[in-house]
Amino acid sequence: MRYFNLYSNILITKGANRILISDLQRNNSELQSLELYDIIEALKSHAIETLMGFYDEDSKPIVGQYLDFLVDKEYGFISTGDRDHSFPPLSLEYKDAGLVSDIFIACRDLARPRQLAPSIGNLAIKHMVIYCEQELAVADFLDLEISFSDSSVESIEIFAPCHAGINENYLQQLSEGARRIYSLVFYKCTTIQPETGDRYKFKVVFTSRHLKINACGKVDLKYFNTHLPKVLEAINHNSCLHKKIGIDINGDIRNCPAMPQRFGNIRDCSLEEALNHKAFKNYWNLTKDHIAVCKDCEFRNICTDCRAYTERTHINEAGLDNSKPLKCGYSPYTNQWEKWSENPLKQKAIRHYGLQELIKNEEA
Amino acid sequence: MILILSSNAEITTDAVIMWLNDLKKAYIRVHEDEFFEIKIINKKFFLESYRNRFFIDDISSVWYRRGGGLKFKRGQYHHEAVNQNMNEAHYWLEDYVIKKLEAKKHINKQSNSRLNKLWVLEEAQKAGLKVPRYFLAENTDDVIPGKMITKSFTENVILKSAYEHQDGMLYTAVVTQQEQGSFFPTFFQDKIEKEYEIRSFYLDGKIWSTAIMSQKDKQTETDHRKYNTAVPNRNVPYDLPLETGQKLNELFLALDINCGSADFIKGKDGQFYFLEINPLGQFLGLSAVCNYALDKEIALYL
């Protein structure tokens, strides 16, 4: 007898009509049919020969093709005599040191992140995103780098307004002093400059758009990410809010700057104190298995989610909003991607969040 | 207080320290450029460098990760006889400090961190592990082309300047033809027809293994480190047979090291062949692929 052994780092996520096969080692995912799902399931309890016996002569070659596909993609291997029991399952536990991994800071200038540096270090935060309202000089960036030179922060992304002084020389100087800055986005540009490729230590994007916080939260294929730690986080926690902290332009501390609840202001409250607030982590364990529609979606383990803008149709027993993300245009029941902003059922929620203008601007 | 001896900016050390912070365990990280002065304060041994100072009694565990280990400052004395005598006094104090620290709970020791690969193969056989037949030779008279491999028995497999490989890595290679002349003693070993490779991380009696399915890929067939970056080898969590694990445990005990990575081949004949142990290698790559969180395991142990 021959047996098919599925590799433990191949994750199959079953949706309403399709499955997503995620290769958690090679970081890619592909859509497949429910028919293949049934075959994979049957192969877990039956030998290949036994399984073949379940099908009529016409179907046998199709099952054979599926099996060839699985072996060819190295989703598993065939053993003879018995299953190979020396391959234990992959632990799906999410293990990550530190209480907070990511911080978002909205600010007028870079004095605010510098002022928060001791708390950021104390919390061992690894990734920082800064949204700055004022134009920045090279020295501003370099001062920021110095403030974090001895900290836990590994990566810094900065959004800042475009201005006439930003040229090759400016970026070159910045590149020489940059250690942790890996991405720069200049918004409100009047002339769009080409992307810089790998000329500098960081990626640079120029956009004419006036980026605002409420532009966040879109669910789209291009944001999907098959990456083992992210998938494990999505299986165990809320992939958007877990281990995140945000500071809005007024200094209010929130889980995400677009979420309604605030947990103090940096004027009189430390990040550590805000995190200790009993409601701060309310959404951290709300997985997509418990969110309307998402729970039937094949993309749920590689998706980003958004709890700040939802369809506002469901509240769970703990009082948490477990409605589908507003800015998701996908239906796992029809398998169609449609424009979320044009869906008639979403208009009420769009008005609630006051997103009409954002939608108009994005379509312009 | 945990004492960490490592090279500067070493990624595994950084990752373990993230966990020590998470677990609220206090530690002292000693850098490569640190030299300690041995002092006696209130009858107790006290070590002091330009960035660290501590009583030996306050150290609860020691992790020797990499680098030269604990280094000491020695005085220079003008009179040769005095110098010699003081050097000797320094030596015994230093020896005592290292012995004291190594007697505490630890992960590996600076005093025996260098592992002789030839010795390890003998000890492995004594522990009952199966080792592919091997010998050293100065010619290829007994080497069967295509059936044997050759590899370095030195500790450092990265050459500073190698001509053939850009990265200067000394890979395992199959011997394809006999050579005319003689050469420096070289290691030859039977090539095992393999089902797959296994890398086992060992820490104080516990083993975490990864199967490296490199056989399908011509590029990595002889040495899985010759990565195929387009389609990497399938790496998955693996359980060594209980008996092989027990023998590996015996080998680590015999070598008096309690942490390291062991390489095995599972042969097409179903046998498990032991290849070598690397006590200082990087292991967080496979740890991440298998979600073993070995950095956390080390932090928990210390």
Chain A residues in contact with B15 (beta carbon < 8 A): 97
Looking at CA atoms only, how far is residue A282 from chain B in angstroms?
21
Chain centroid to CA B218: how far?
28
Please measure the distance between the N-terminal and C-terminal CA atoms of chain A and give it in whole angstroms.
63
Contact A159, A130 (CB under 8 A): yes
Query: Do A152 and B296 lie within an 8 Å CB cutoff?
Result: no
The strand pairing partners of A130, in sequence order, are: A105, A158
Helix (H) or strand (E) holding A51: helix A48-53
Q: How many residues does chain B have?
A: 302
Chain A residues in contact with B196 (beta carbon < 8 A): none
Of B21, B239, B292, the CB nearest to A124: B21
The strand pairing partners of A12, in sequence order, are: A21
Mutate to test the interface with A, among B212, B234, B242, B289 (most CBs of A within 10 A): B234
Report pTM. 0.87
Helix (H) or strand (E) holding B40: strand B37-41
pLDDT in tens, A125-169: 999 999 999 999 999 999 999 999 888 899 999 999 999 899 889
Query: Do A90 and B231 lie within an 8 Å CB cutoff?
Result: no
pLDDT for B161 equals 47
pLDDT in tens, B168-184: 556 677 777 777 778 88
Contact A231, A237 (CB under 8 A): no
Sort strands B61-64 and B105-107 into parallel, antiparallel or unpaired. parallel
The nearest alpha carbon in chain A to B290 belongs to: A90
Gap between the Cα atoms of A74 and A30, Å rounded? 13
Query: Do A228 and B291 lie within an 8 Å CB cutoff?
Result: yes
Does residue B166 have a pLDDT over 70?
no
Gap between the Cα atoms of A326 and A222, Å rounded? 17
**Beta-sheet strands, E only, within A1-126:** 2-6, 10-14, 18-23, 28-33, 76-80, 102-107
Gap between the Cα atoms of B154 and B169, Å rounded? 12
Q: Is the Cβ of A354 closer than 8 Å to some Cβ of chain B?
A: no
Query: Do A91 and B292 lie within an 8 Å CB cutoff?
Result: yes
Task: Kindly give, in sequence order, each residue whose CB lies less than 8 Å from that of residue A239, ignoring residues fewer than 6 positions away.
Answer: A230, A233, A288, A303, A304, A305
CATH superfamily of B114-132+193-279: ATP-grasp fold, B domain (3.30.470.20)
| Domain range list for chain B | 2-107, 114-132+193-279, 133-191
Strand, coil or helix: what is A118?
A: helix
pLDDT for B8 equals 81
Q: Is the Cβ of B296 closer than 8 Å to some Cβ of chain A?
A: yes
Average of per-residue pLDDT values in chain B: 86
Q: Is the Cβ of A97 closer than 8 Å to some Cβ of chain B?
A: yes
Q: Is the Cβ of B238 closer than 8 Å to some Cβ of chain A?
A: yes
Confidence of residue A39 (pLDDT cuts 50, 70, 90): very high
A25 phi-psi bin (left φ>0, alpha ψ -120 to 50, beta other): alpha
AA letter at A273: E
The strand pairing partners of A5, in sequence order, are: A77
pLDDT for B82 equals 85
The nearest alpha carbon in chain A to B293 belongs to: A95
Class of domain A2-86: alpha beta
AA letter at B213: M
Q: Is the Cβ of A95 closer than 8 Å to some Cβ of chain B?
A: yes
Does residue B189 have a pLDDT over 50?
yes
Q: Which position has the higher pLDDT, A300 or B66?
A: A300
User: What are the φ/ψ torsions at residue A256 (nearest 5 degrees)?
Assistant: -130, 140
B252 phi-psi bin (left φ>0, alpha ψ -120 to 50, beta other): alpha
Looking at CA atoms only, how far is residue A86 from chain B in angstroms?
5
Query: ipTM of this predicted complex?
Result: 0.85
pLDDT in tens, A235-288: 999 989 999 999 999 999 999 999 999 999 999 999 999 999 999 999 999 999
AA letter at A45: S
pLDDT for A148 equals 93
H helical segments located in chain B: 11-22, 80-102, 117-126, 242-255, 284-289, 294-301
Burial A251-284, CB ≥16 within 10 A → b, else e: bbbbbbbbbeebbbebeebbbeebbebeebbbbe
Gap between the Cα atoms of A354 and A343, Å rounded? 16
Query: Do B21 and A228 lie within an 8 Å CB cutoff?
Result: no
AA letter at A335: N
| Domain range list for chain A | 2-86, 92-211+244-283
Query: Tokens 């003008």 — which residue?
Result: B78
Mutate to test the interface with B, among A5, A90, A94 (most CBs of B within 10 A): A90
Gap between the Cα atoms of A267 and A251, Å rounded? 7
Taking the CA atoms of B222, B226, B232 and B238 in sequence, report the sign of the dihedral they define. Answer: positive
Nearest of A152, A170, A150, A151 to residue A160 by alpha carbon = A170
Gap between the Cα atoms of A186 and B77, Å rounded? 63
Chain A residues in contact with B234 (beta carbon < 8 A): 7, 9, 25, 74
pLDDT in tens, B104-142: 999 998 888 788 889 999 999 999 999 999 988 888 888
The strand pairing partners of A106, in sequence order, are: A131
